[in-house]
Amino acid sequence: MPVIVKISTPKGDIRVRLYDETPQHRDNFVKLVNEGFYNGTLFHRVIKGFMIQGGDPDSIGAPAGKMLGTGGPGYNVPAEIVYPQLFHKRGALAAARQSDEVNPERESSGSQFYLVYGKVYTPQELKQMEKQMSMQQEQSIFNKLVQKNRSQILELRKARNQAGLQELQDQLIAETKKQMKELPAPKFTPEQQEAYTTIGGTPFLDNQYTVFGEVESGMEVVAEIQQCATLSADRPKEDISMTMTIEQ
């Protein structure tokens, strides 16, 4: 039987189903719910047409104007990015995390999560996004190669060896192209295309964050919360608190 968690809010109840394909995230979420960790926390970050985020323990009883979004249980959860099977369709439950710069392994926050709202895309917009994803993949490979050859680059710069720098750059570009040819071109699956052109979502987050569940009922509550008025740092003007219980 899949695990169903009820998130009760002043706007109504949201029921989410946790995926068995992401067992560490499922078990951690269940543990925190059973401990009452989420009770009294807020949806502290809400962006219209994008998502609603909660799970920061520092948000419990937080005064107006307090900066939120850095709290957690004191640990991270290893990434469980099951892509392209699990993706950011509308209603997806995913784990928040720190950026790649400080978190290259893409470990998830121990408690913070978001529910996707997003928008509906045209097939043409998705094709354009695939091109952008390919360019980002190429840039990422090149950046890693630059980092790998950083000491040599610094030596060439120190010696003001422009010809050597140009030669090395040409080599790194050639290696980047070679690696790109060995990788499958970024492409949305038929399931993703169907979801993103009908119910919507946030495809630009795919393969970067762990998606570990989805809304089973109460999507109208998510829709209402994402519409709410916000102050600085996207915090709702009116506190939207939650309590959670395991239903099955």
For residue 42, the domain's CATH number is 2.40.100.10
Residue 21 has which token pair?
């394909």
CA distance 68 to 59: 6
Please check whether residues 142 and 241 belong to one and the same domain.
no
What domain range includes position 166?
123-182
Q: Which residue, of 156, 182, 208, is where some domain finishes?
A: 182
**Do the beta carbons of residue 86 and residue 205 sit within 8 Å?**
no
**Do the beta carbons of residue 224 and residue 27 sit within 8 Å?**
no
Residue 127 has which token pair?
């094709």
**Do the beta carbons of residue 15 and residue 4 sit within 8 Å?**
yes
Please check whether residues 97 and 205 belong to one and the same domain.
yes
**Do the beta carbons of residue 15 and residue 5 sit within 8 Å?**
yes
Query: How many other C-beta atoms can be found within 10 angstroms of the C-beta atom of residue 168?
Result: 17
- pLDDT (0 to 100) of residue 76: 98
Examine residue 188 and state whether it is found in any structural domain, yes or no: no
Examine residue 192 and state whether it is found in any structural domain, yes or no: no
CA distance 88 to 95: 11
- pLDDT (0 to 100) of residue 132: 93
Please check whether residues 71 and 105 belong to one and the same domain.
yes
139-172: pLDDT as tens digits: 989 999 999 999 999 999 999 999 999 999 999 9
